[in-house]
Structure 1
Amino acid sequence: MASPADDAELVRRAREGDRWAEEALYRRHVRRVTDAATRVLGRSDEAEDVVQDTFLKAFTKLDSLRDPSLFPRWLLRIAMNRARGKLRRRKLMRSFGLDHTVDDATLERFASPTTPPDVLLELAGIDAALREVAPDHRIAWMLHEVEGLSLPEAADACNCSLATVKRWIRKAKDCIEAHLGADLQPDDDGDAEAGR
């Protein structure tokens, strides 16, 4: 990962109109933003839109960044705000029966080819549960549990307090546990069902 000093210098130069510095910032951070957006949204096409919108807004609003060394955190916050908007629009479209697309970037698809079938089944269950939670809860859980952000970093990326991000993550975990628990309940014959 790039050092904050390097980012600060590139931000300073980009503010002065140096296109090479903008390109360097883009190349340095595009992978992380893309990965986070793809995992949060579950759709690579929507993630690409979020990435483009994120960098466009970041470079347009670069002068509003108070501490240039915090560029990566600021960029991730912009991306998560954009992703939140996509998730809310998707939920609205689903409520009207207009969203018939399929998530193509699920946790299951990110798994290693050697992942055991029972783990793949669990990942599919987590994906299903995350489709049911509020966008903020999904984003917070993904940032913390999948992207590996600390709780304070996840709170910053979600633009909320530490207590709020903890609550959102807990609600997502509760939904996942309920969903996975429901999938593993005994059926009429007493056998465990898998992956309904």
Structure 2
Amino acid sequence: MRGTRGGLARGNAYGHVMRAGRADETSLVVAAQAGDPRALDDLAATYLPLVYAIVRRALGELADVDDVVQDTMLRALPELRTLRAPECFRPWLATIATRQISTHLHRRQADAERTAPLDEMTDPPDADAENLALIHVELSGHRRRTVRASRWLDPDARALLSLWWLETAGRLTRVELAAALGTSVAHAGVRVQRMRNQLELSRAIVAALEASPRCPLLTAALGGWDGVPSALWRKRITRHTRSCADCGRAADELVPLERLSVALALLPSPDAA
């Protein structure tokens, strides 16, 4: 792979990963491990959109996405020779991406100065770049609300969500998802269900916060909240929404996740758009 931070060349559309057969992918990995510079460049170009899709879905903010994608590729490719099973390159790379996402989210969560209030996060920090990333998706209001809801997830759940989106779109298998998590398929299923439960609670929170008019009891319950999504306020707001008929009606209007998952999973890299 040629390029450094700020100069990492993005690959083609994500579908390029899927056009090659698994045998061809494995051969490409083997050649890259043997030191073939062209194979290494082709491998980076082929899998960069996969890494971008994983990171983009977890983070959202485009500047952060570019940093974490580059960190992932610059960490993975030099360590390629340590991969003992070339056929497992895809989940191995997803594992590295997931770890980089978690590290980034934990660091950002701990840095209060870099955390924006929810009302500022509603609009993308770079509208032009965001439009490029979303041009083929045409997110509806429900999909945008789900993106905002993901900001209420714990950091590890956000990293897992990005993998699950790709699984629902057929871009990762459950076996590959489990391998990326470093766990069994059965335990991966438990973690996915736990993440989905947390996401549904978060979607209900966003629906209640954005209801017009907003429930006056919810407004009263938000006293002292600084507008930043957090686990503490997720629990406090959920206690209200679960017992409030008005907020419950807002949540009842949510579209099932399965109807949103494919469109949300296939976010292209900016160059692909």
1:81-120 pair list within 5 angstroms: 81-93=99-111, 96-100=112-116, 102=121, 104=124, 109=134, 112-113=137-138, 120=140
Q: Does 1:154 align with 2:170?
A: no
Q: Does 1:44 align with 2:62?
A: yes
Which of 38, 45, 65 in structure 2 is aligned with 1:27? 45
Q: Post-superposition shift, 1:129?
A: 2.7
Which of 142, 148, 156 in structure 2 is aligned with 1:136? 156
| Cα separation, partners in 2 of 1:168 and 1:90, compared to 1, 3 Å | farther
Q: Deviations over 1:111-169 (max 9, x none)?
A: 743x5xxxx33323322332122222222233113553343322222223334433332
Q: If the length of structure 1 is used for normalisation, what is the TM-score?
A: 0.77
Q: Does 1:53 align with 2:53?
A: no
Question: Which ranges in structure 1 are unaligned for 5 or more consecutive residues?
Answer: none
The structure whose RCO (Cα within 8 Å, separation 6+) is larger is 2
Q: 2:191 is matched by which residue type in structure 1?
A: W
Q: 2:174 is matched by which residue type in structure 1?
A: L
How far apart are the structure 1 equivalents of 2:154 and 2:95? 17
Q: Deviations over 1:51-104 (max 9, x none)?
A: 2222222221111101112212211111111111111111111xx343238484
Helix, strand or coil: the match of 1:61?
helix
How far apart are the structure 1 equivalents of 2:29 and 2:250? 54
Question: Which ranges in structure 2 are unaligned for 5 or more consecutive residues?
Answer: 1-17, 125-129, 217-245, 254-273
Contact persistence 2:55–2:69 (CA under 8 A): yes
Q: Deviations over 1:28-69 (max 9, x none)?
A: 111111111111111222221222222222221111101112
RMSD of equivalent CA atoms: 3.3
Q: Percent identity?
A: 28
